Amino acid sequence: MPPPGNRDGMTDDALFLDFDGTLVEIVDRPDAVVVDPALPGILARLRERLGGALALVSGRSVATLDGFLAPFAGDAAGLHGVEYRVGGRFFPCDPGGHPALRRGVERLHDAVAGWPGVLVEDKGCSVALHWRLAPDHAEDARSLMMGLAAELGAAYRIQAGKAVAEILPASSGKGPAIARLMAEAPYRGRRPVFIGDDLTDENGFAVVNDLGGLSVRIGGGDTIAGARLPDPAALLAVLPRWAELGRVDLG
């Protein structure tokens, strides 16, 4: 079945947006990102114009996204799809269901205590190790995370990013998250559009490409995305126009 058409005769879009490096600039500390004050209102308007078919797809938790983007609180796949909010229904992840990971997080804190600038970001059902502030410890940090991932076994996987490595449940990923959302109303039958900036977004691009959608990479680097924008500022500049049009248009 072809995607539905909107009143302009164009294909209706389902828009999926990464957060860090896409809607906000990457910063040294995960808690120090700066959100443009106009962004929550723009997202709310764009979501309305897309008939609700807008979701954040991020490594952040849904609660963290809500905190940065208040009062906007739309659909979201958090922790790389480990948790979801769709149509007001929230499907959380229970950290208590990951006892081996929880023990590993405690050991990570102990292991990096003597590495100034290496940050443990405990997300409950996943854990990320950041070394942007300590590039000299990059190899040590990677080795530490690879060792923990190997110890945890097949139930978990390791995901590399920009000066970060994250251990997540094996079933997680932005590609599966987007595929799950595309099976739900109001996303079903629309053209998927996913915009992201990092290695963690590439499997999302793959799913969108397979569905005949539009994948957009923010910034440089090798990618399978079909289009690019130079930086988050360029995306923020076009979001209001998309809200007016009611569709994604890279022009």
Euclidean distance between CA atoms 233 and 165, whole angstroms:
26
18 a catalytic residue: yes
Integer CA distances (angstroms), 236 to 81, 110, 165, 194, in order: 24, 40, 27, 15
| Nearest Cα to Cα of residue 133 among 120, 115, 118 | 118
Euclidean distance between CA atoms 88 and 114, whole angstroms:
43
Q: How many CA atoms lie within 13 A of 144 on its CB side?
A: 27
H helices present in the chain, as ranges: 39-49, 62-69, 99-111, 138-152, 174-182, 202-210, 232-245
Enter the DSSP assignment of 21. Answer: T
Q: Which residue has the tokens 């897309």?
A: 50
Do residues 148 and 120 make contact, with C-beta atoms less than 8 angstroms apart?
Answer: no
Catalytic pick from 18, 66, 197, 198?
Answer: 18
Euclidean distance between CA atoms 127 and 165, whole angstroms:
9
Catalytic residue positions, numbered? 18
